[in-house]
Structure 1
């Protein structure tokens, strides 16, 4: 029998923290019972219930264990409903080692193990262990030798703080800063307004008294101040999240680590990476920067987690990373773009939407129609970028797709990662020989669909026949 191992004792306190609502329910129940059966009996019942919850959490911890064999990992959990699973090493896709602040204090880490089972969403195995043991377990599961640490330095790429600052400015992270401002504003309204009295109506009344030019000047300064604060917050957010970002390869495996407060360490079997997504915000398209993500089961399936391969790179560095670490995703086939005769199809729905908004504004207040021209310009620019960014191609082993407007994505996918490819068209598309191509991927996100629109309906060739 192989040696049983359990979660670190800190895991019990994590789980107990999640049960705060249950303890609050116990306290409320005790308060209700006081008037009916007396304070002594009520407190006794409350203590018994709390003890039962604590005992159950201890039993959950006790019954949750794993054992590592020669070529598999065995896991068992559950008190009343027992679940047992045995996973061969070759089925493991991704291993994630992360450290929250409390875990770093106690020198422990959480290791998350995912396999290629697309029917099982989220992580299949998750343990909280001593950091050194978590790293040992990762090396055992990946069959990684000590020699690999020397090889990794030869094929490593590190993001510098200056590059992270640029990334925070040209990506959509500025929206994160605006989101933080909104959260701070809500926090102020709920908790601090009574202690720090600020009557904003006085400033609004003062603004109304000023002439239109001074009002515009004041509002512009306010908007610029908010924008500056949001940019500052986004820079701090990106620096903390991707601090000391490093990606490297030892040939068969790829490793990624980053994070200042919440440290992340990911490990992938290179053969099980299903695709690459190269993404660009509108500013990144204008300045020639890219964000690289990968398609791998178990990576990017947690809340607000991206399957990041490299946060920001230039065109030459992007090609260098693909050539050096993932040369199997170097696409060399032809790509097909929409015909000029199809450009109308990227605009007409947007024009109809604008016309509907303008019509509503006309009946509410006719002079507001002039402001909808800004919306029309925005929609036309969006349609132009969608038309320009759309492309599709297939070679012997890979599929290339380019789509979206302001947030351009180029996906290079292994043919084996494609669950199905669908051609769809409307009556008018069919009349002109156009169609939309949709691909469903084998992914941890069930039914993940990638789609390109308004291309010729005869470009698939023999790839799927």
Structure 2
């Protein structure tokens, strides 16, 4: 307690890599100097710049320190612009401990501390420390006895390998696998041209000369092959991400940890959880599976950061988790759904979009119009799901919202998490007594907006009056 502590020395190399990336233009410029001042002079300039970067990063590391007090943590950073902050323990919302591959090799971890202060963007405090010290600091900040295992707390939940395989198939991970394939294809295509001297554009030109039906057959076969490969990539991605997943709780906190290469270990104060989000892809909706996330002000504001509570669970398990861990979010109030007369509003824009697309295809090549029927079917299914999934309700201190089509999201939020509720409508909606409800949540990145559309304009009640 009350001693000065600094980041792990690995932090210097992280910052150096980031700085070099930001100033890559200067490095390229030094390369051009070879023609002007010669190789030796350019190397000397490069070495001088590298030494300056090391000295600057060392100074930043030296001036970045924190002190853990009896009831608060003090942090100071900056060389020219010095920033100081002191945060009482009771204001801390979430603590996230993660390990990248390099950190696992050097037995270090990154600890991120959030208080939910809406004037800040991203994590308010972030340190790279020895793994044992990061865990010890987490226990101090959470006022929890050090060394507690999941098994010593209340019931804990794990995910079996079979469940991870199912999740990779019915979540959007397959789309990520396809994205990886496109990236690999760009590199592989270049590799084939440069080293094996096979130009894949030759086969593309040949395909274009074939009749349209044979071309569609060939493309379909290729697409099917790519989907199969992407499925294997998706399974590998999900296993690496959620390996050894565990979620458990004690009297005051909920803890989550997972990951093979990059390990995540974060915790939430139960009292400071503002809501839960229950999400389903289209296949999850059909098969009855759910992904659960937590809404905690201050966490999830950084890019790619999600407060996953449970990646995939059945309806029974979802209800059990809510009952045992998040009983205050059991919504029992009335839920308003769109009237059948509002159904048209979920379809007309999509039909107009299809009509314009079909018209363009007709002028380009009339045979293509028949294939736009697949697009029409896709849009009609999307509209139906949006109509079916839309819902809104208020019950005491809770708000229930449900929206989206292929990626259904149910949100159950505390009233205290809502910054504002907006009712908006067009002239035609007003004539029929419909409106859109938008809720802005307190957040450190200018607020998170949730919207449900085409509901009756008289369902809010007295809660916001």
Q: TM-score range by the shorter chain?
A: over 0.9
Match of 2:49 in 1: 49
For the residue of structure 1 that corresponds to 2:266, the secondary structure is: strand
1:393 paired residue number: 393
CA offsets, 1:337-368, max 9 Å, x none? 01111111111111111122222223333332
Against the structure 1 CA distance between its residues 98 and 206, is the aligned structure 2 distance closer, same or farther, given a 3 Å change threshold? Answer: same
**Is the CA contact 1:26–1:50 (under 8 Å) kept in the aligned structure 2?**
no
Which stretch of the first structure deviates more once superposed, 166-175 or 47-56? 47-56
Quote the offset at 1:193 in angstroms: 3.2
Q: Distance in 2 between matches of 1:436 and 1:373?
A: 30
Question: Which segment drifts farther, 56-65 or 441-450?
Answer: 441-450
Aligned to 1:319: 319
Counterpart residue number, 2:357: 357
Using the TM superposition, give the Cα deviation of residue 442 of structure 1 relative to its aligned residue in structure 2, in angstroms.
0.5
- Structure 1 position 239, deviation (Å): 0.5
The match for 1:331 is 331
Write out aligned runs for 1:5-16 (5 A): 5-16=5-16
> Does the 8 Å CA contact 1:251/1:325 hold for their aligned counterparts?
no
1:450 aligns with 2:450: yes
Match of 2:340 in 1: 340
- Is residue 228 of structure 1 aligned with residue 228 of structure 2? yes
Structure 2 contact 436–453 (Cα < 8 Å) conserved: yes
1:334 and 1:302 map into 2 onto residues whose CA distance is: 35
Q: For 1:233 and 1:150, locate their aligned partners in 2 and report how far apart those are by CA, in whole Å.
A: 31
1:418 aligns with 2:380: no
Task: Please give the alpha-carbon distance, in whole angstroms, between the structure 2 residues aligned to 1:261 and 1:315.
Answer: 30
Report the equivalent of 2:26.
25
Q: Distance in 1 between matches of 2:320 and 2:294?
A: 16
State TM-score, norm by structure 1.
0.94
- 2:279 alignment counterpart: 279
Seen in structure 2, the aligned counterparts of structure 1 residues 43 and 343 have a Cα distance that, compared at 3 Å, is closer
Could you tell me which residue of structure 2 aligns to residue 98 of structure 1? Answer: 98
For 2:141, the equivalent position in structure 1 comes to 141
Could you state the TM-score of these two structures normalised by the residue count of structure 2? Answer: 0.94
1:293 is aligned to 293
Partner Cα separation in structure 2 for residue 360 and residue 27 of structure 1: 46
Q: 1:59, 1:79 within 8 Å by CA — same for their partners in 2?
A: yes
Farther off after superposition, 455-464 or 141-150: 141-150
Aligned to 1:262: 262
Return closer, same or farther for 1:207/1:56 CA change in 2, 3 Å cut-off. closer
Give the C-alpha shift of residue 48 in structure 1.
Answer: 3.7
Q: CA deviation at 1:217?
A: 4.6
Q: Is the 8 A contact 2:282 2:407 kept in 1?
A: yes
Alpha-carbon deviation of 1:386?
Answer: 0.6
Maintained 8 Å contact 2:93/2:272: yes
Contact 1:30 1:45 in 2 (8 A): no
CA contact (8 A) 1:96 1:264 kept: yes
2:123 and 2:299 in contact (8 A); partners too:
no
| Structure 2 unpaired stretches of 5+ | none
Task: State the secondary structure of the residue aligned to 1:164.
Answer: helix
What is the alpha-carbon distance in structure 1 between the residues aligned to residue 45 and residue 366 of structure 2?
68
- The Cα shift of 1:54 comes to 1.4
Q: Is the 8 A contact 2:136 2:146 kept in 1?
A: no
Instruction: Render the CA deviation track for 1:413-438: whole Å, top value 9, x for unaligned.
Output: 00000000011111111111111110
| Contact 2:193–2:199 (Cα < 8 Å) also in 1 | no
Q: For 2:52 and 2:209, how far apart are their aligned partners in 1?
A: 65
Aligned match of 2:111: 111
Contact 2:150 2:248 in 1 (8 A): no
Looking at structure 2, the residues matched to 428 and 104 of structure 1 have their Cα atoms a distance apart, in angstroms, of 59
1:71: which partner in 2? 71
1:278-332 residue CA offsets vs partner (Å, 9 max, x unmatched): 0011111011111111111343333333221100000000000000101111101
Q: 2:193 aligns to what?
A: 193
CA distance in 2, matches of 1:31, 1:226: 42
Cα distance in 2 for partners of 1:7, 1:227 equals 44
Q: CA deviation at 1:154?
A: 2.9
229 and 376 in structure 1: CA distance in 2 versus 1, 3 angstrom threshold = same
Report the Cα distance in structure 2 between the residues aligned to 1:74 and 1:203, rounded to whole angstroms: 63
Give the aligned partner of residue 170 of structure 1.
170
Which 10-residue stretch deviates more, 438-447 or 337-346? Answer: 438-447
Helix, strand or coil for the counterpart of 1:355? Answer: helix
In structure 2, relative to structure 1, the CA distance for the partners of 1:207 and 1:266 (3 Å cut) is same
CA 215–361 in structure 1, closer or farther in 2 if over 3 Å, else same: closer
**SS of match in other structure, 2:13:** helix
- Count how many residue pairs are aligned between Structure 1 and Structure 2: 464
- Over aligned residues, Cα RMSD in angstroms? 2.3
